[in-house]
Amino acid sequence: MFPAAAHRLLIRLFATAVLLTAFTVSGCGPSWVIVRQANPNPLAGQTNLSVDGMHYETMTVGGKPEGIYLADKDQKQRDSFLNDKNETAKVFFTTLRAEAKGLVLSDAAPGAVFVVQPTVTFWEPGYYAYVARQNSIMNLVLRILDGQGQVIDEVNLTTQVEATLFNPSTGGRMGSAARQLAEEVARYLRFRTAAPGR
């Protein structure tokens, strides 16, 4: 028999473990929601995909259109944000190509029938100020187009990056979000391009 204090401690530890597991499953990391998906699957067995550049045209920042968000920033802040976007795209595509090896993900893959088109639609920069913080959130719409430019698959993906002392900059969190989303996009592409019976 455990002493009562030890028993209470074990119960507390178990409850904490359950809460942490629930938080990990529900609150962290990317997830996808299918908007549309061609059936039968035309991507099955495909190994030659092209990648369109990262699209930001419809992105809102903290709930505002990008132009309005940047309107009250000075030139240095606007330049920094533009640089963050460019670096984020590089991180996304570098990660995607590394994680989706064998799918020939290039900007202009010869003979490619399908095009992968990622679009960032929402970015919550968040902030870290020692005594207060707000985590960063990124939403990405993945579309896969056929040779005629028709959308055959459309998927929404969202991820959250914690704002901490070790990840205080919005640019750093933007890159982390892009990396997480690229890993999830690669997982989706591997799933959709798997040959039947695999």
Q: Looking up tokens 């290039």, which residue turns up?
A: 106
> 2-16, 26-40, 184-198 — which is least confidently predicted?
2-16
Task: State pLDDT tens for residues 56-65.
Answer: 999 999 999 9
Residues near 48 by beta carbon (within 8 Å), at least 6 away in sequence: 103, 104, 109, 110, 111, 112, 113
Q: Is the Cβ–Cβ distance between 115 and 103 less than 8 Å? A: no
Q: Spell out the domains of the chain, with CATH numbers in brackets.
A: 30-193 (3.40.50)
Task: State pLDDT tens for residues 123-136.
Answer: 999 988 877 889 99
| 81-89, Cβ contacts within 8 angstroms, sequence gap of 24 or more | 83/171, 84/170, 84/171, 84/174, 84/175, 85/54, 85/56, 85/174, 87/171, 87/174, 87/175, 88/54, 88/120, 88/174, 88/175, 88/177, 88/178, 89/53, 89/54, 89/178
pLDDT at 50: 92
Q: The whole model's pTM is what?
A: 0.81
39: DSSP letter: S
